[in-house]
Structure 1
Amino acid sequence: MKKVILSIVVLILGMISSCEKKKNETENKTSTERFETINNSAENNKKLVLDFYQKLFGDKDLSAIDKYVAEDYIQHNPTVADGAEALKKEAEIWFKGQGKTSIDVQHAAAEGDLVFLHIKNSNPDGTLTSTIDIFKVINGKIVEHWDVHQNVPKESKNQHPMF
């Protein structure tokens, strides 16, 4: 019994030592190294979201949802239910009879696990819509989404109204 208890204590001490080593490695990183790690992650998240956006909304490829969206995806757009399957059902309706198009991304930015897109949408009636989409990415999957849409006015008091 003493050998079993001693083995457990040694195992626990080894685990604690390993955790302390990892903690020290993280703490010993310079602020520049920590920033580069965060920035690389943000850049990877931005690329993931841009790929997803073109494949789903541009190419009308519903398999993009399976590849990029978490099953328990949280949707803040009140016209779409939560979950990847709900998004897929809505997208089937949105894309019915539509061909592929290139997404006109005006701006893309990322900070940590959030990615921000500013999109210029051409509508079938010839009008334009400005869309801001915000995505949260965790472990290589889109887990949450917010969006805001605004019609672009035909006339503006300045030469750069929305884009």
Structure 2
Amino acid sequence: MRIVLAGFAAILLTACGSEVPEETAAPAASAIPPVPPELPQDHQALLASDDPQLEANKRLVYDMYRIVLQAGLADRAGEFIAEDYIQHNPNADQGLAGLQDYVRRTRPEREIEDRLELPLIHIMAEGNYVTIAFLRSQVDADGQTYFSTWFDMFRIEDGLIAEHWDPMLKTDEQIDPNEQRLEE
């Protein structure tokens, strides 16, 4: 709260033409990202739920990610994705066919793994929504690696994924998320 108030005071004083003493200016943010050893290793525990429907929804999303997005098997997307799938990623077209085209152009086909190899942070389900979060590494303008988080949220309807949201922007470079795999 003190930092927010100091920052607000600094803005007001600057707007009024006064200088702000350096000690009252808000310090630069220093995010401490999760590091790979903190990531959960027991994916089965993340998929478990006391509610069988929530567990099934989490499993649907996990297996779709593993088979379609991680293994790049676009032809299998219909096992998980509704024909009239609503896509909120501005770089992919609508419907099952739009997702299949996106997968084909952004990643090669790979062997299906028993578990997600991406750095999974958490998977949670509430009602007919499932959100999955991954550790994401990036390289800044100075060539330094830093970590952030990638989120995907899915709406499940009639046992299939009917809608998807993620933070992708139209200006973002299309990437193969499998490049985010952590080195063993």
TM score, norm. by length of structure 2:
0.53
After TM superposition, list the pairs within 5 Å mapping 1:35-74 onto structure 2. 39-74=51-86
After TM superposition, list the pairs within 5 Å mapping 1:17-36 onto structure 2. none
Q: CA deviation at 1:128?
A: 5.0
Question: Could you tell me how far apart the structure 2 residues matched to 1:127 and 1:85 are?
Answer: 34
Q: CA deviation at 1:122?
A: 5.1
2:117 maps to 102
Q: Which structure has the highest strand share of the two?
A: 1
Q: Which amino acid aligns with 1:85?
A: A
Q: Which amino acid aligns with 1:116?
A: T
SS in 2 for 1:80: coil
Question: Could you tell me how far apart the structure 1 residues matched to 2:82 and 2:59 are?
Answer: 17
Determine which structure has more spread, i.e. the larger CA radius of gyration. 1
Q: Within the alignment, does 1:111 sit opposite 2:126 as a pair?
A: yes
Alpha-carbon RMSD across the aligned residues, in angstroms, is 2.9
Q: Which structure has the highest helix share of the two?
A: 1
1:136 maps to 155
Higher relative contact order (CA 8 A, sep 6+): 2
SS in 2 for 1:81: coil
Partner of residue 86 from structure 1, selected from 83, 92, 98: 98
Aligned residues: 113
Identity, % of aligned pairs? 29
Q: Which amino acid aligns with 1:65?
A: A
1:159 maps to none
Q: Which amino acid aligns with 1:41?
A: Q
CA deviations on 1:41-95 (whole Å, 9 max, x unpaired) are 1111011101111112221221331110000000011111110001101110101
Tell me if the contact between 1:130 and 1:149 (Cα under 8 Å) persists in the aligned partners.
no
Q: CA deviation at 1:127?
A: 6.3
Tell me if the contact between 1:49 and 1:115 (Cα under 8 Å) persists in the aligned partners.
yes
Q: Which amino acid aligns with 2:166?
A: D
Q: CA deviation at 1:118?
A: 0.3
Q: CA deviation at 1:129?
A: 5.1
Question: Could you tell me how far apart the structure 2 residues matched to 1:77 and 1:108 are?
Answer: 20
TM score, norm. by length of structure 1:
0.60
Question: Could you tell me how far apart the structure 2 residues matched to 1:94 and 1:123 are?
Answer: 18
| Runs of 4+ residues over 6 Å off in structure 1 | 123-127
SS in 2 for 1:148: coil
